[in-house]
Structures are given as C-alpha cells and as structure tokens.
Amino acid sequence: MERHEYIGRVFRQLIQGISQRIPSQCAVCHAWPSQPVCEACVSAFAQPRHRCLTCALIVPADVRQCGTCIVTPPPLDTCLAAVAYAYPWSRLIADFKFQQHPGWAQTFAQLLRAAPWVEPALEAADLVIPMPLSRQRLQDRGYNQAHVLACALDASKVAHGVLLRMVDTPPQRTLSRNERLHAVRQAYAVDPLRTHQLAQRRIVLLDDVMTSGASLHAAARALRQAGAAHITALVLARTE
C-alpha cells in the first residue's frame, strides 16, 4: 500500500471515530446533545391522534371510520399513520427524500414503531412492501425512500421488486384529487413471476407520505388481484 493511501485510510478512520463521539443537535429545536429529534420535540409534535381505521384521517374518539370510507370502502383493511404531514415532519421528510439524507430512515422507523398499532401490524405481516418509484424518479433521486424506510423497520420482511411502478406520473402534490385518481389508475402491477409470494399473505404496504390515498389504493388493488389476503397501509405522515 502506498504511503499516501495508508495515511488517507487512517485519516478517514480517525474522522469516523470522532464523528461517532460528537454529540448531535436536535433538528427541530436545536438542543444538544440530542438524538436527531429530541424526546421533547417528539412529545410535542408526535402525539398519537385518533384516526379513521381505513384512511388514517383524524376523526372523533368515538368514530371508527370516516364517512367517505363508509360510503366508498377503500381497498385497504387498515391504514396507520404516525404523524401529521406538518411542521416539523414535512421539512424533515423533504430532507429525507430530496436532499440525499437517507440516514433519517432510522429515526423515522423509531417514530413509526412508537405509533399505536404499528408494532402488531408489523409482527402479523408476512411481507413489508415499499411503494416503488418509477425508473426515472429512482435514477434522479438515487434511492427509494420507502424502501430505505422499510429496511429500517424490518429488513427481514421487505419484499423488494414484487410491486412494480409501470407509469411515471407527475408529483401527486401538483394534481387535484380527480387528476391523482386518473394518473395512478394503471400505475402499479405485480411482477407476474412473483405472484405466488402474495397468495393469502398479510401485507404491510409502506410509504412515507399519504395525501389523497390514490397511489396507495392503486397499489393495494394490484396486490389484492394477485392474491393478498390482508393489506395494511403504513405511512409515516398523513396530510390533514
């Protein structure tokens, strides 16, 4: 090994060792030493809310399902969300997705596991399937944030490549509800060589953010057609 290569390797090891001992700062209130999000901020911004069983919208404590889900049942057996898509989570999720910060997955996985009913859903699941990205969006971003988050939750159950994104649609936040429903109608399909993995299985379908639910519903229909017996949608954040 050349002298300059050896020195470079030792220097990198030294920096890595120092960085592991440097206390971090809370990304929300900037207190430190702290976890990426301190306990006080989690307590302040991640309080559990009573949500609709099948779409995760906030509903009164004595209501099991919202009116929309009663009138038009979604293709999901259950839908669980950890937090509202609002400050500070919206900013942190944007960093996770768009600013090359996949390291947020561990913090978000802990946040999800602390949400009501998430642990039982993960334990009961046969497979955890992350929502796929189109090839173009995956190339642009460099990673699929839902897949990274799924691996942080339970890597042993992640089924990557079973669910495929067939159509690259515009970002959902730029579309109306009707446009979203139309755009994703044929956007997802199950790999025909892997349908046997879904037969009579309990699935957790994972995404980072749920807005109208159009994408999750389209994906759930594809999984149901392939034989999935039970589908729980699990999202980090839900728009209100």
Residue 31, classed as helix, strand or coil, is coil
pLDDT digits (tens, 9 = 90+) for 129-185: 999 998 888 888 899 999 999 999 999 999 999 999 988 766 655 556 566 655 677
Q: Taking residues 23-45, report their average pLDDT.
A: 89
Residue 18's pLDDT is 35
Distance of alpha carbon 188 from alpha carbon 165, whole angstroms: 5
Where exactly are the structural domains of the chain?
1-45, 47-238
Residue 173's pLDDT is 58
* Residue percentage of the chain with pLDDT more than 90: 73
Q: Is the CATH code 3.40.50 the one for domain 47-238?
A: yes
pLDDT digits (tens, 9 = 90+) for 140-152: 889 999 999 999 9
pLDDT digits (tens, 9 = 90+) for 14-31: 444 433 444 578 999 999
Q: Taking residues 223-230, report their average pLDDT.
A: 97
Choice between 219 and 22, residue whose per-residue pLDDT is larger: 219
CA angle 122, 155, 129 (to 5 degrees): 60
Residue 114's pLDDT is 94
CA angle 51, 186, 124 (to 5 degrees): 40
Residue 133's pLDDT is 92
Looking at the predicted structure, is the pLDDT value of residue 5 above 90?
A: no
Residue 20's pLDDT is 43
Choice between 168 and 12, residue whose per-residue pLDDT is larger: 168
Global confidence as pTM: 0.85
Distance of alpha carbon 28 from alpha carbon 137, whole angstroms: 28
pLDDT digits (tens, 9 = 90+) for 48-99: 999 999 999 999 999 999 999 999 999 999 999 999 999 999 999 999 999 8
Residue 8's pLDDT is 53
Distance of alpha carbon 47 from alpha carbon 69, whole angstroms: 24
